[in-house]
Amino acid sequence: MTRKDLINSYKIPDLFFVYEAVDAFNYKNYLLHLFSVCTNGEKITINIIIKDIFFDIKLKSEELIDSYIDEFKPDSFEIIEKQPFDSKKYNFIRLYFKTYKERKEALQSLKDKLDKLNELKEHSYLKEKEKEIIQQIED
């Protein structure tokens, strides 16, 4: 019996529970290892190889494309039209990266900017509230 025959003879139950997901990367591909337990109690590992390393950003304006390219420095990009499950179709820019590390750094940069923006908004809100309270006290 060949290895392929042995694998094909094994029936994996349709339902399984993923109890741990570990991501990794080699020189070419992003790898996702899912450690699972089937409904019959057997443990299995599912290895997913993801060849394209990318993320999408919803485009509010086509004029922002160059700024996204300059900021995130992707290996390549494309404009796609997608429809999220709860809305109409939108254009997205899909940014492709050579390595998982580059993608992770770009996403971290995006998260840091969002955190900073939220912090500034909170600070601005608190300043406005402070002005309102002072005005109420003075009146």
Is residue 5 included in any domain, yes or no?
yes
Is residue 65 very low, low, confident or very high in pLDDT (cuts 50, 70, 90)? very high
Q: Which helix (H) or strand (E) element contains residue 96? A: strand 90-97
Is residue 11 included in any domain, yes or no?
yes
pLDDT the model gives residue 116: 92
Is residue 107 very low, low, confident or very high in pLDDT (cuts 50, 70, 90)? very high
pLDDT for 99 beyond 70 = yes
Mean pLDDT throughout 76-81? 93
Mean pLDDT throughout 118-130? 86
- Rg of the Cα trace of the chain? 24
Give me the chain's average pLDDT, please: 85
For residue 45, the enclosing domain spans 1-51
Is residue 43 included in any domain, yes or no?
yes
Is residue 70 very low, low, confident or very high in pLDDT (cuts 50, 70, 90)? very high
Query: What does the block give as tokens for 96?
Result: 């492709």
Is residue 37 included in any domain, yes or no?
yes
Is residue 92 included in any domain, yes or no?
no
Is residue 26 very low, low, confident or very high in pLDDT (cuts 50, 70, 90)? low
Task: Name residues whose C-beta falls within 8 Å of residue 39's C-beta, 6 or more positions apart in sequence.
Answer: 13, 15, 16
Distance CA(103)–CA(108), nearest Å, equals 9
Buried-state track 20-50, b at ≥16 Cβ within 10 A, e below 16: eeeeebeeebbeeeeebeeeeeeeeeeeeee
pLDDT the model gives residue 25: 66
Portion of the chain with pLDDT greater than 70, in percent: 95
Query: What does the block give as tokens for 51?
Result: 């060849």
Is residue 61 included in any domain, yes or no?
no
Is residue 135 very low, low, confident or very high in pLDDT (cuts 50, 70, 90)? confident
Model confidence pTM above 0.85: no
Total count of domains within the chain = 1
Closest CA to 95 of 119, 69, 118: 69
